[in-house]
Structure 1
Amino acid sequence: MKLSPSVSIEQADSGLEYINVASELCSAKIFLQGAQLTEFTPKDRKPLIWVSSKEDFQEGKSVRGGIPICWPWFGANAKNSDWPTHGVARISLWRADEVTEQGNEIRVSLTLPMAEVDDTYWSHKSTLKVEFVLTNKLEVRLTTTNLSNQVISFTQALHTYFPTPAIEETHIDGLQGAQYIEFGEGPFEQHELVGFVRETDMVYTQAPDTQRIITPDGIIEVGRENSTSCVLWNPWIDKSKRLSNFADDEYQTMLCLEAANVMDDVVQIAPNESHTLATTISWI
């Protein structure tokens, strides 16, 4: 892979390699394990991505924060609950394919070597590619291509962790009118801004394609493409104590708002066709 002047390959203390971006408009880090972005900070702005202070970036373990890629299933596998939660992509080693820099825009593309994916979990002929488009905003595009002679179906999510200085002073706008399931109950209709006063685990369907996270530090706009479902999550007090690589009080400084294809929004791809799940994130 040919690098650009603003891009280098670095190594974390644990030995995991990551792509480091330091351009005129932003800084970013993308780990080869999981193709997981763990930092995105526009120039002269606060970070747009959250990672736990307890994260140690170990081989074979999912990272607590950033944008984990959940694929080819979201949550527990419907057929086998012993399979890896949120699929295999986020704990697999991806290949860095291409970096391009044109003007102030940097594009970083990675692919998942499908030969390395255990066909117990995914036996279909396909490709999986993620592209990060980095300016003063972040765009992530996850593309699955069906190379088989039959329709394939799956669920997925870009499991984005966002920062906030105070979760109880944070609200989500743009989910009004959507339906949601929470803790297996519902569907309910969202009528108002969403606030946080307890553990939150809402799976939305028929969701508008843009939401805004209103925090004391400013407003983050989150857009989605080819997705009518999204997930809103905060572990709150009790669950925080049970999470790995997560400080007991860190629920106060984070939330997840995830571009997804889940529930009725499951992806089905015909032979030789592709599907791209995308999200765009920026301060406004």
Structure 2
Amino acid sequence: MSLNALEVKNLTKRIKGRNIVDDVSFSVEKGEIFGLLGPNGAGKTTIIRMIVSLINRTNGSVVIDNYNLDNNFSEAMSSLGAIVENPEFYKYMSGYKNLKHYARMAKESITEDRFNEVIKLVGLENAIHQKVKTYSLGMRQRLGVAQALLHKPALLILDEPTNGLDPQGIREFRDYLHLLAREGISVLVSSHLLSEMQLMCHRFAIIEKGKLIHISNMDETVSEEEVSVREVTFEIEELEKAVDLLANSGMEVDVISRKDSALVVKVAKEAIPLVNKLFVENQIAVYGIYVVKATLEDRFLEITNQKREEEIK
């Protein structure tokens, strides 16, 4: 029995002799939020559409909760909940009646307890009997998640789920996904919003031009330990004197900016105490040293730029 809720192997989509998705393989563990990152047009939505069988695969296999799509299609789809585009509902009906309508299409009957459980899970208890036309975009997104969760899927797939949401809506939606993960539901989510994915996902894969070029654990990717050269702010007196000292020190330090009492430099991790020592020994008071933690955006640009340089070579 696999510990993965989703296994994708050698997934390929060819259109007019060109590979839109090219030999992509990855897995999503149970209770994990896994992100597909990449610019618009990279192939993320095509990958998702193949997984949920909205379009045919040219090659490759998809296994959902141990069910192969080719051999056990009905069982695999029963283990899946998905929102591939903005969820559409009957706006003149209440959220509850919309859920009831979708429940009629489920393979197995859904109990009233399950309705209440899902409604509470997505935080719509106070609005579920209001008409959908009164809902905000964030509330409609949550209703979409509720609809996708009714039949207790092992895997939830979301394509650009935060599009159109305001910052408060994005934060609420992220919190719901974390709650789902703690409940043991796996989530595959695609987005081009790197800062949001950094807060949302446990692991991620980068898709560029239809190829999977990197896959990594989020915490390891954005940890300071992985970055040898970093941006550091020294809160000091006598900025100009400090800059001159650095220029004549022989150390590899790049000055990025200097304003008021803040000197921002790029420097190797092991050189930070040496810079501090240089200032102190030359009677420059140091009031603070602040290291800027690497972001997913930094890592994303580093990986994609490196890949392009390899292609040029």
Question: TM range, normalised to the smaller chain?
Answer: under 0.3
Whose helix fraction is larger, Structure 1's or Structure 2's? 2
Larger C-alpha radius of gyration, 1 or 2? 2
Does 1 or 2 have the higher relative contact order (CA < 8 Å, sep 6+)? Answer: 2
Give TM-score, length-normalised by structure 2.
0.25
Which structure features the higher share of strand residues?
Answer: 1
TM-score (norm 1): 0.26
